[in-house]
Amino acid sequence: MKRISRILLFFLLSIIIWSCSRKKNSFVNRNYHAVTAQYNTLYNGQLAFEQGREEINQNYADNYWDILPVERLDVDDMILLPDSIRNQNFGRAEEKAVKAIQKHSMQVKGKERNPQIDEAYLLLGKARYFDQRFIPALDAFNYILYRYPASDNITHARIWREKTNLRIGNEKLAIKNLKKILDSDRLNDKDLADASSSLAQAYINLKHFDSAVNPLGTAAKFTHIEAEKGRYYYILGQLHNKLGDPEKANMAFDEVIDLHRKVPRIYYVNAYIQEARNYNRNSGSDKFLLELLTELEKDRENRPYLDKIYFQLGEYYRSLDSIDLAQTYYNKSLRSPSSDIYLKSINYEILADISFDGANYQEAGSYYDSTLTNMSPDLLEYRIIKKKRTNLDDVIKYEKIAEETDSILRLAS
C-alpha cells in the first residue's frame, strides 16, 4: 500500500512540475499558467488597481464653474525619480502585472501561448496611466498592439493608447486614431462609450466644443455605468450652455436629474442649479423657480451643498432687485461649510459690488480684500479686482477724512 502511495505521489509531483514548464505548448501547461496568472497574480493586481481608482475618485475635487473633464484625474507637475510611484496601490498593481508576465508568459516558437498575458500588459499600462507615468503606459499599450494583434483586448488597448496620447498633448493624433476605432462595426457598448468619451475630451481640450457634443452624447447613451452616464450628461449640458443653447443644456441636465440616486448627489444638485441659472425671466415662472430652490434648501440630503443653493437664491433675489434678501443669502452661502474657494470669491465680489454701488466704500474695500484672498493670482479676474481695490484706496481715505470732519463739526455745534 505504501509503495502504491509513493508511486501516486511521485506521479502527481511529476505532473505538477511538468505543468509548471513555460516552454511546453500543451493543454495542461497553457491552462495551468493562464489560471494561475488570472486567479492569483492578476486578481490581486486588479484589486489594488481598483483601490487606487477609488482613492482618486474620493480625493478629486471637480470645478463646477468650468467644463468638467470626462475622466477624474488630477495631473500634477511633480517630477519623480526613476522607479518612483505616486500611489502605492498603482505600484502594487504594476508589480503584480510584471510578476504575471515574468512567471507565466509562455513564449513557444515566437508566439505567446498564455491568453492572460495581454491582460497583464493591459493592467500594467492602466496602472502606469493613473500613476501619471504616461510614456511607460504608452509602451505597455503599444506592446499589446504590436505583439498581440489577435487579442480580444486589442480594441481596448487601442482606446487606452489614445487616452494616453491625450494626456501628453497629442490631441490631433488621438482624434485621428479614435475616429478609426469608431468606424469599426464590431465595438461593444463599453468600447463605444470609452472611445466616444475620449474623442469628446480631445475636442474639449482643443476648445472645439461643438464637435464634442455628438461623441459625448453617444458615450452617455452607451455606457452601462450610471455614475459615468450622469457625468457625461452633465458635461453635455455644460457644452450646450457654452454654445449658447440653454434649452438643450436643460434637456441634458434633466437626464442627470432623472438618474437621481443612481448618480453621485453632487451631480444631481448641480444639475438643478444649472437649470436655475438658465432660468428665463421672460417665462413668467418666478414662483416656480423660488419653490424649486427652496425645496433644494430644505432637503436634508443637500446640506453639503447649501453653499451653492444659498448662492443661487442670492442670485434669484438680486435678479428681482431685492438686494437686502440677496445679501442675506450671499452671506449664508459664505457661512456654510464649503471647499469651493472660487464660490467664496464670487460671493465676496458680489457683496463688494453691492457695497460699492451703495457708496459704502470702506465695506466694499474689505469685501474686495476677501475676494482676492480666495482667488488665484493667476486669474485675469484677480488683476481686474486688484486694480479696482487699489483705486478705492484714495476714495476710502477721503471718506474717512469727511467722516472725521463731520464728527468735529457735530461736536463744535
Instruction: Give 42's DSSP letter.
Output: I
Across 5-14, 25-34, 150-159, 344-353, least confident range: 25-34
Q: 250: pLDDT confidence band, cut at 50, 70 and 90? A: very high
Name the one residue in this structure whose C-alpha cell is 437686502.
324
Q: 113: pLDDT confidence band, cut at 50, 70 and 90? A: low
Q: Which residues contact 311 (CB under 8 A, 6 or more apart)?
A: 329, 330, 333, 343, 346, 347
CA dist., res. 23 & res. 245, Å (int): 63
**Is residue 279 helix, strand or coil?**
coil
Domain spans of the chain? 24-72+85-152
Across 11-15, 153-157, 377-381, 389-393, least confident range: 11-15
Q: Which residues contact 246 (CB under 8 A, 6 or more apart)?
A: 240, 278, 280
Alpha carbon distances (Å) from 327 to 173, 197, 321, 350, 371: 50, 41, 11, 9, 15
- For the chain, give the percent of residues with pLDDT over 90: 67
User: Which DSSP string do the residues of 206-225 spell out, in sequence order?
Assistant: TT-HHHHHHHHHHHHHH---
Environment class of 403 (CB within 10 Å of its CB; exposed 0-12, middle 13-18, buried 19+): exposed
CA dist., res. 270 & res. 277, Å (int): 10
Better pLDDT: 289 or 283 = 289
User: Which DSSP string do the residues of 58-91 spell out, in sequence order?
Assistant: HH----TTSPPPSS------PPPPTT--S-HHHH
Q: 41: pLDDT confidence band, cut at 50, 70 and 90? A: confident
pLDDT at 36 over 60: no
pLDDT digits (tens, 9 = 90+) for 294-305: 999 999 999 999
Instruction: Tell me if 124 sits within 8 A of 98, measured CB to CB.
Output: yes
Please give the backbone phi and psi of residue 111, each rounded to the nearest 5 degrees, phi first: -130, 135
Cα three-residue angle 108-111-116, rounded to 5 degrees: 95
Instruction: Select the highest-mean-pLDDT range: 95-109, 162-176, 382-396.
Output: 162-176
- Count of alpha carbons within 13 angstroms of residue 126, beta-carbon side: 24
Q: 29: pLDDT confidence band, cut at 50, 70 and 90? A: very low
- Closest to 159 in 3D by CA, of 177, 140, 147, 171: 177
Q: What is the pTM of this model?
A: 0.85
Environment class of 130 (CB within 10 Å of its CB; exposed 0-12, middle 13-18, buried 19+): buried
Sign of CA dihedral 122, 126, 127, 133: positive
**Is residue 109 helix, strand or coil?**
coil
- For the chain, give the percent of residues with pLDDT over 70: 82
Better pLDDT: 410 or 208 = 208
